Amino acid sequence: MSTILVVDDDPGVRQVLKAFIELEGHRVLEAADASFARRALAQEQVDLMFLDVLMPGESGTALCHSLKDDPECRDIKVVLLTGFDGERSWQQGLRCGADIFLVKPVNRERIKVLLDELLSPEGQA
C-alpha cells in the first residue's frame, strides 16, 4: 500500500480524490495548502502527491520545484492538478519537475491509470 498526499485548497476536490485513491487500496493524507503539505511530508513517507497549481500562499508549482530540489523528497511522484488547460500551464508544470499534469475535473478511471502507472516498479524507475 502506497501513501498518497492530496494537496488542494478545495475540500470537495480533496474528498473526491481521496475516495478514488482509497478505492484503489492506498492510504491518503490531505493538506489544504503548501504549508500543511510540508508538515505532512516532514512526518510521513509519501510515495505520490496530487498537487493543485493555484492555492493561497505558496503555489503548487513552487512547492513541486522545491521538492524536486530536495534530496529527501525528489523521488516523490507529483501529479499537478489545474483547472486550466493551456500551453502556458503545461509549460509551468513541466518546468517545476512534475511527473504528470492533470486537468480537473478528474474521473476515477483516469486516477486508477495514473496510480497504476506512477506506482508500478516501471513507473518508479
The pTM assigned to this predicted structure is 0.91
Mean pLDDT by 10 residues, the chain (125 residues): 96 96 97 97 96 92 94 95 69 79 89 94 56
Report how many domains make up the chain.
1
85 in any annotated domain: no
Residues contacting residue 34 through CB under 8 Å, at least 6 positions apart: 7, 55, 57, 58, 59, 60, 62, 63
Question: Which residue segment(s) compose the domain that 64 sits in?
Answer: 3-47+57-76+107-119
Position 101 scores a pLDDT of 86
Classify residue 94: in a domain, yes or no: no
CATH code at position 36: 3.40.50.2300
